[in-house]
Amino acid sequence: MDKIALRRKNLRTAIDAANKRLGFKSDIAFCEHFDLNASHISQLINGHGSFGERAARNLEKKAGWQSGLLDEILEDETHHPKVNVSESNVSLLDSPLQAIPLLDYVQAGLFHEVGYDGINPLGTSWTTYKSPRPECVFSLKVEGKSMSPEFQPGDEIVVDSSLEAKPGALVIAQEVQHGQAKTTFKKYRVIGINEFGVDVIELVPLNSDFPTLNSNQIDISIIGVVVAHNRRFKY
């Protein structure tokens, strides 16, 4: 078998293995997860596109496979990419990825006390997080710098609206100022109890250049608790 044909065969094998291991239902889901062009990948597999050295190495890098994997004869019956973790500071995930809706901040307001009702998600994200109420799990994109440096604009956060906020938790909350509702991402802090026996809370930014919000001054409703953080890195 010539090298180009071997690359096409190995690509098909490696994608099938990744789909099974990560819980993807289609090649499109695989491509979305690794930010790959699904049409281009289909052309590479089916022999309709050029599959040279540079394309092979770039694809391996984006998919997290060992460099040169697509040029090797894959003899492992599981066809998993060859990753040696015996002397490493990383380990392989064994939890399957699950699809969750990707929303914007306005749409996140629909999550107060109920599960997601399916209205106009921006797209799909993925998480290994498991909730007893999966219909209440969604993701948001971070905007602004109030939670930097830990959270940067463009980062994705996974939110579970079925969880009760606890002191120190990171939360998505709705705050009402001058009759206008806005959704915000902050750290949850309890500072006391008011005369009605209700917790007085603060929404605290991780970036000290931004103001802290206080429930004595504005109405605050907690929408959900942040349970995971996804970030893509430039290269």
Residue from 163, 14, 159, 12 nearest 100 by CA: 159
Break the chain into its structural domains and give their ranges: 3-71, 98-230
Read off the pTM: 0.60
Cα-Cα-Cα-Cα torsion 20, 235, 229, 115, nearest 10 degrees, comes to -60
Kindly give the confidence (pLDDT) of every residue in the chain, 235 residues in length, as a single tens digit, with 9 standing for 90 and above: 688 888 888 898 889 888 887 888 899 989 998 889 999 999 999 887 788 888 899 898 888 888 888 888 765 444 455 555 455 566 656 667 788 888 875 455 544 444 555 556 777 888 889 898 888 899 988 888 999 999 998 889 999 999 999 999 999 988 766 766 678 899 999 999 888 888 899 999 999 999 998 888 888 889 899 999 988 777 6
Burial of 93 (C-beta count, 10 Å sphere; 0-12/13-18/19+): exposed
pLDDT in tens, 175-208: 766 766 678 899 999 999 888 888 899 999 999 9
Would you say 137 and 127 are in contact if contact means Cβ atoms under 8 Å apart? yes
The CATH code for residues 98-230 is 2.10.109.10
Would you say 99 and 130 are in contact if contact means Cβ atoms under 8 Å apart? no
